[in-house]
Amino acid sequence: MNSQRPVNLDLRTIKLPITAYTSILHRISGVILFVGIAILLFGLDKSLTSEEGFAQVKECLTSPLAKFVIWGLLSALLYHLVAGVRHLIMDMGIGETLEGGKLGSQIVIAVSAVVIVLLGVWIW
């Protein structure tokens, strides 16, 4: 083993391809959805326990911070959905080449950005 080999452990200087960014974002959006579902289930439980609980949840959801959190959760859901569809298409054998993967990643980012902006307009 050659110990003179250069080792780059500074993550800020590593240039990742676009496919790596879409894969990392897909995993992050999955984690956000996992945590977000727990928060939303807590709110659903609270709203179904009593009329006062429903009023509290309704009042909480009208705040700008709650709208921002909901927008974030729905953005993660939409990104995860678009990236998941890309994975399903790749499972069918379409876009498995290096060029196809790069194009698919660019399409995922573009479609997700447009849908997330439209979602923000709809929420506010």
Report pLDDT digits (tens) over 6-56.
777 777 787 889 999 999 999 999 999 999 999 999 999 999 999 999 999
pLDDT band at 107; cut points 50, 70, 90:
very high
Binding residues, by number, are 80
What CA–CA distance (Å, rounded) separates 54 from 46?
A: 7
Please enumerate, by residue number, every residue annotated as part of a binding site for heme.
80
Domain ranges of the chain: 16-121
pLDDT by residue (tens digit) across 88-102? 999 999 999 999 999
pLDDT computed for residue 108 by the predictor? 97
Q: pTM of the entire structure?
A: 0.84
Could you tell me the pLDDT band of residue 1, with boundaries at 50, 70 and 90? low
Residues 55-93: b if buried by 16+ CB within 10 A, e if exposed: eebeeeeeeeeeeeebbebbbbbbbbebbeebeeeeeee
Those residues whose C-beta lies under 8 Å from the C-beta of residue 98, and which sit 6 or more positions away, are none
Fold for 16-121, please state it: 3 helical TM bundles of succinate and fumarate reductases (1.20.1300)
pLDDT band at 79 (very low <50, low <70, confident <90, very high): very high
